C-alpha cells in the first residue's frame, strides 16, 4: 500500500508473530478460543499475509457470530477490502468503529483507514468528518496523511478556507513528508484556480500567513502558496527543526525572489541546516554572512550566537576565543531580547567552565537573573549559578541559592539536585546536622533517583546511613506498586478476558494491543498495567513496557522499595547475558551493574538494535570501532557479527575498559562513550579536577550530562534490586 499504516495493519509484515500462520485447515484452536474466534484468526492471518480476498470473505462470513471479536472481524474485513481495492466496501465495513473510535482498541486505527477509504471512494463528507475527529488526538507518524486527506475532502466540497488551513499546517508541520509534497501540489492548484478567476483568489498575504477566522462577506479566499518567498523560508526552517536539513538546503538553493531581509534570513536558516549536518565550519561562515547583512537587525544577534555555537565544536583555541568574543558581543548589545541573552549568557558560562575559569563563569551566569524566559530555561540558569557558587567556594551563597531553587521550581527535575548540593554546601560550612537533614530531604522524596543515591552515600559517609526503608516524604501519598490490592472492575476484567481470547485464538500481538489500549484508558489499574508489561515484553516491545510502567507505576519506580519493585525487575532492569558481562569485566574493577545499565541505556538489551548513526547491537558499537577493537583482541569482526551478544559484549566491554583506563574517571569514560573521547578529555582538562560528581554536573551538553546520570542511577537500581 502507498500510505503509512498503523501497527495493527502491519503485524504480519513486521515479524511480530501476530497470527502464528494458522495454515488453512491446519492446527486446532486452543484455550478459550471458539470456532468463530478461530475463523476470525484465520481471516485476520490471510488479510495480513496479503490474501485479502480470501480473508475478507472469511471475515464477512463470521462477522455476525464473532462475539467478543466482532471489532477485530470488522476492522480486518475493512482492511482486506481496502487492500483489494474496494474502497467503498472498506469504508462501510469500518464505519461502525470509525464513528465510535473510543469503543474499541482498534477504533482509532479503523477511523484512520476509514478516512483513506472514504476519500478514495469520493465520499468526502464522511472522510472530512472522520478526519476532524481523528486529528483531535493525532498519532504523529500517521498525521500527515490525515491532514492531506482532510484538505482533499474539504477542497472537493468547496471549503477552500478549510482546505487552505489544512494544507498550510501540513506543509509547515511535516515539511519533508510525502504527504506534504502532495499537499503543496494541491495548494498550488488552488492558488492557480484563484488566479484564473476560480473560487479562491490567489493572494500572498504579508508573511504568507492566512489571517485567522472565516473570510468576510464578499472577501476573496486567500490561498496558501508554498512557493511564496516567506513560505519557502518557513518551510526550510521547519525542515531543519524536523530533522531534514539536507532537504532544507535543497529548497533554499532554488530561485525564490527573496528581498534583502529574506535573503539574510535564508542565510541564517542555511547555517542552521549546515550545523545539523555537522558541517560546523561552513555553518559558522554562513552565520557570519547572515549577521553581516544587517548588523543592527535582531536576526544578527541570533546569527552571532549560532556562529558561537558552531565554534564550540572546534578544539582550536582561537575558535574558542572567537566564541567568547561573539557571546560577549551579543550580551553587550543594546537590544532587549531575553531569550537571546539567556542562551548567550548560559553558553558563555558553560564555555568558561569548560576552560576552568569558574569565577568568570559565575559572573556570566549572573547575567541570567531577571530575564523573562521560560521556566525551564530559568531553572537551568539558576542551577548553574548555584553550582558555580559552590565551585568558587561561596558556600553561604550556594546554600541560599540552593535552598531557593526547589521553592521557585518545585517540579523541576533538578529540585532534588539542589537539595543534595545544599547538603554538600552545609557540610562544607561545618554544619553536619543541617547537612544530614538536607540529604534526607533529597533521599526521602525519590529514593530511587540519581540524587537520592548520592545523598544516601553522603549519609553513609557521615555515619547516618538511611536504608531501603526510606520510601517517601510525609507530603506525598504512598506510591502505586504492583501486587497491591485494588477493587474489582468489570471493565478491567473484560479487557483481560479479551486479551486472553485473542492470544488463545492465535493473535497474541492483537492481545498486546488490546492490553495497551486498556492500560492507557485505565492507568490506575495495576492489573492491566502488569498484564500489558508482560505481553509487551514477550513481543520484545521494550518501549511499550517502559511507557506503561512509568504511566502506572511511576511513583513506585521513584519511591518503591526493592520488594515493591520485584514484579517489575526482570522487565525493567534485566540482567541478560550476565555471564558474558561478568567474564568480560574480570580483573577490571568495573562494577558489572555499570555495564548492565549501559546496555540498558544504549539498546535495552535488544541485540538487533541499530541507531540512526549506524551503531549496532547491545552496546551500540560503530562497525569501525568494533573492527579496531577486534584487531587488538586478535579477532576478525564484520558488521553482522555485532548482532551476536557474545561478540558485541566482548568488544564493547573491552572498548569501555579502555575508555575507563584512559579517561581518568568513570564519569569521564561514560561522557566519552556518549559525546566522544576528545570532547570528554577537554572537559577533564577544564573541570575534571573538581571530582566525579561536579564533573557530571558541569558537563555542558545536556544530553551527555543526563546520559551519565541515568547510567549511574541505573547501576544503583541494579544493586538495590538484585543485591550487591
C-alpha cell at 681: 578529555
Question: Helix, strand, coil proportions of the chain in percent (round to 5)?
Answer: 70, 0, 30
pLDDT at 162 over 70: yes
pLDDT at 82: 97
pLDDT at 473: 46
pLDDT at 174 over 80: yes
Compute the mean pLDDT over every residue in the chain, rounded to the nearest whole number.
Answer: 91
CA torsion through residues 528, 530, 535, 541, sign: positive
Give the pLDDT band (50/70/90) at residue 21. Answer: very low
In percent, the amount of the chain with pLDDT more than 70 equals 91
The pLDDT of 272-299, averaged and rounded, is: 96
Of the candidates 555, 601, 585, 583, the residue with the CA atom closest to the CA atom of residue 718: 601
Inter-residue contact 439 to 458 (CB < 8 Å) = yes
The pLDDT of 517-533, averaged and rounded, is: 97
613-624 pLDDT, tens digit each: 899 999 999 999
CB atoms within 10 A of CB 317: 9
316-360 pLDDT, tens digit each: 999 999 999 999 999 999 988 999 999 999 999 999 999 999 999
Task: Give DSSP secondary structure letters for 272-330.
Answer: HHHHHTT-HHHHHHHHHHHHHHSTTSHHHHHHHHHHHHHHHT---HHHHHHHHHHHHHH
pLDDT at 131 over 90: yes
428-457 pLDDT, tens digit each: 999 999 999 999 999 999 999 999 999 999
Give the pLDDT band (50/70/90) at residue 194. Answer: confident
pLDDT at 1: 60
pLDDT at 451: 97
C-alpha cell at 44: 485476520
Distance CA(269)–CA(231), nearest Å, equals 13
pLDDT at 422 over 80: yes
pLDDT at 595 over 80: yes
Give the pLDDT band (50/70/90) at residue 145. Answer: very high
Give the pLDDT band (50/70/90) at residue 467. Answer: very low
Mean pLDDT is lowest, of 568-572, 647-651, 676-680, for 676-680
pLDDT at 207: 38
pLDDT at 220: 53
pLDDT at 463: 86
The pLDDT of 459-471, averaged and rounded, is: 65
3-state SS, residue 616 = strand
Residue 697 among the catalytic residues: no
Is 253 buried (19+), middle (13-18) or exposed (0-12) by CB count in 10 A?
exposed
C-alpha cell at 553: 507505576
Inter-residue contact 384 to 366 (CB < 8 Å) = no
pLDDT at 265 over 70: yes
38-56 pLDDT, tens digit each: 999 999 999 999 999 999 9
Distances (CA, A) of 271 to 237, 276, 650: 10, 9, 41
Distances (CA, A) of 118 to 45, 83, 113, 128, 661: 24, 14, 9, 9, 63
Inter-residue contact 52 to 83 (CB < 8 Å) = yes
pLDDT at 33: 66
Q: Which helix (H) or strand (E) holds 165?
A: helix 160-173
Inter-residue contact 291 to 300 (CB < 8 Å) = yes
219-242 pLDDT, tens digit each: 455 799 999 999 999 999 999 999
Distance CA(422)–CA(215), nearest Å, equals 59
The pLDDT of 260-289, averaged and rounded, is: 97
pLDDT at 335: 83
pLDDT at 12: 72
Mean pLDDT is lowest, of 209-213, 413-417, 550-554, for 209-213
Q: Which helix (H) or strand (E) holds 547?
A: helix 542-559
Catalytic residue among 602, 638, 692, 697: 602
What domains sit in the chain, N to C, each tagged with a CATH number?
1-137 (1.25.40), 490-572 (1.25.40), 578-722 (1.10.530.10)
pLDDT at 23: 32
pLDDT at 256: 84
pLDDT at 209 over 50: no
Of the candidates 397, 388, 320, the residue with the CA atom closest to the CA atom of residue 353: 388
Give the pLDDT band (50/70/90) at residue 8. Answer: very high
pLDDT at 714: 97
Distances (CA, A) of 607 to 18, 673, 689: 21, 18, 37
Mean pLDDT is lowest, of 479-488, 525-534, 679-688, for 479-488
Amino acid at each position: 500500500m502507498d500510505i503509512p499504516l498503523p501497527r495493527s495493519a502491519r503485524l504480519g509484515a513486521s515479524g511480530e508473530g501476530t497470527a502464528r500462520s494458522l495454515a488453512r485447515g491446519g492446527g486446532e484452536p486452543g484455550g478459550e478460543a471458539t470456532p468463530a474466534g478461530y475463523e476470525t484468526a484465520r481471516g485476520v492471518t490471510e488479510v495480513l499475509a496479503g490474501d485479502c480476498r480470501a480473508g475478507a470473505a472469511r471475515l464477512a462470513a463470521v462477522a455476525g457470530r464473532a462475539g467478543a471479536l466482532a471489532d477485530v472481524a470488522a476492522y480486518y474485513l475493512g482492511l482486506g477490502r481496502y487492500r483489494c481495492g474496494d474502497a467503498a466496501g472498506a469504508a462501510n465495513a469500518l464505519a461502525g468503529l470509525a464513528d465510535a473510535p473510543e469503543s474499541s482498541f482498534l477504533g482509532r486505527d479503523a477511523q484512520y483507514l476509514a478516512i483513506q477509504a472514504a476519500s478514495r471512494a469520493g465520499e468526502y463528507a464522511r472522510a472530512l468528518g472522520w478526519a476532524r475527529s481523528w486529528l483531535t488526538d493525532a498519532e504523529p507518524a500517521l498525521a500527515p496523511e490525515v491532514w492531506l486527506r482532510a484538505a482533499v475532502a474539504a477542497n472537493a466540497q468547496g471549503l477552500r478556507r478549510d482546505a487552505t488551513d489544512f494544507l498550510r499546517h501540513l506543509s509547515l508541520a511535516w515539511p519533508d513528508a510525502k504527504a506534504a509534497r502532495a499537499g503543496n501540489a494541491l495548494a498550488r492548484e488552488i492558488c492557480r484556480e484563484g488566479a484564473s478567476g476560480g473560487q479562491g483568489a490567489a493572494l500572498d498575504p504579508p508573511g504568507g500567513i492566512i489571517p485567522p477566522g472565516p473570510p468576510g462577506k464578499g472577501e476573496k479566499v486567500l490561498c496558501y502558496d508554498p512557493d511564496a518567498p516567506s513560505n519557502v523560508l518557513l518551510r526550510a526552517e521547519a525542515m531543519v527543526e524536523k530533522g531534514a536539513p539536507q532537504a532544507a538546503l535543497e529548497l533554499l538553493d532554488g530561485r525564490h525572489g527573496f528581498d534583502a531581509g529574506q535573503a539574510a534570513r535564508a542565510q541564517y536558516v542555511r547555517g542552521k541546516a549546515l550545523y545539523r549536518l555537522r558541517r560546523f565550519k561552513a555553518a559558522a561562515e554562513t552565520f557570519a554572512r547572515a549577521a553581516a547583512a544587517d548588523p543592527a537587525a535582531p536576526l544578527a544577534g541570533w546569527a552571532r550566537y549560532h556562529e558561537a555555537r558552531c565554534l564550540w565544536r572546534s578544539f582550536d583555541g582561537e575558535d574558542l576565543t572567537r566564541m567568547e568574543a561573539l557571546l560577549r558581543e551579543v550580551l553587550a548589545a543594546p537590544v532587549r531580547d531575553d531569550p537571546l541573552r539567556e542562551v548567550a549568557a548560559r553558553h558563555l558560562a558553560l564555555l568558561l567552565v569548560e576552560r576552568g575559569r569558574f569565577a568568570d563563569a559565575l559572573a556570566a551566569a549572573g547575567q541570567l537573573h531577571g530575564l523573562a524566559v521560560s521556566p525551564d530555561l530559568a531553572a537551568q540558569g539558576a542551577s548553574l549559578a548555584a553550582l558555580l557558587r559552590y565551585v568558587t567556594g561561596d558556600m553561604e551563597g550556594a546554600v541560599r541559592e540552593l535552598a531557593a531553587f526547589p521553592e521557585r521550581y518545585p517540579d523541576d527535575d533538578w529540585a532534588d539536585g539542589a537539595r543534595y548540593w545544599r547538603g554538600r554546601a552545609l557540610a562544607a560550612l561545618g554544619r553536619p546536622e543541617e547537612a544530614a537533614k538536607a540529604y534526607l530531604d533529597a533521599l526521602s522524596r525519590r529514593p530511587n533517583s540519581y540524587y537520592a543515591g548520592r545523598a544516601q552515600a553522603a549519609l553513609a559517609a557521615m555515619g547516618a546511613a538511611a536504608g531501603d526503608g526510606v520510601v517517601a516524604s510525609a507530603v506525598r501519598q504512598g506510591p502505586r506498586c504492583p501486587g497491591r490490592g485494588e477493587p474489582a472492575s468489570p471493565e478491567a476484567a473484560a479487557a483481560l478476558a479479551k486479551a486472553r481470547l485473542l492470544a488463545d485464538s492465535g493473535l497474541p500481538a492483537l492481545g498486546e494491543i488490546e492490553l495497551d489500549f486498556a492500560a492507557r484508558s485505565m492507568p490506575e489499574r495495576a492489573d492491566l498495567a502488569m498484564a500489558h508489561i508482560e505481553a509487551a515484553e514477550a513481543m520484545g516491545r521494550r518501549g511499550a513496557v517502559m511507557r506503561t510502567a512509568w504511566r502506572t507505576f511511576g511513583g513506585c519506580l521513584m519511591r518503591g522499595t526493592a520488594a515493591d519493585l520485584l514484579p517489575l525487575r526482570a522487565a525493567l532492569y534485566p540482567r541478560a547475558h550476565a555471564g558474558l558481562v561478568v567474564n568480560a569485566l574480570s580483573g577490571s574493577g568495573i562494577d558489572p551493574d555499570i555495564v548492565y545499565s549501559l546496555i540498558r541505556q544504549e539498546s535495552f538489551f535488544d541485540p538487533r538494535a541499530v541507531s540512526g548513526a549506524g551503531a549496532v547491537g547491545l552496546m551500540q558499537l560503530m562497525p569501525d570501532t568494533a573492527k579496531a577493537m577486534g584487531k587488538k583482541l586478535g579477532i576478525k569482526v564484520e558488521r553482522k557479527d555485532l548482532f551476536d551478544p557474545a561478540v558485541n559484549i566482548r568488544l564493547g566491554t573491552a572498548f569501555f575498559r579502555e575508555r575507563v583506563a584512559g579517561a581518568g574517571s568513570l564519569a569521564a569514560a561514560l561522557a566519552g562513550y556518549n559525546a566522544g573521547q576528545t570532547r570528554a578529555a577537554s572537559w577533564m582538562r577544564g573541570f575534571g579536577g573538581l571530582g566525579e560528581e561536579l564533573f557530571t554536573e558541569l558537563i555542558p551538553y545536556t544530553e551527555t550530562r543526563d546520559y551519565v546520570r541515568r547510567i549511574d542511577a541505573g547501576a544503583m537500581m541494579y544493586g538495590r534490586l538484585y543485591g550487591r
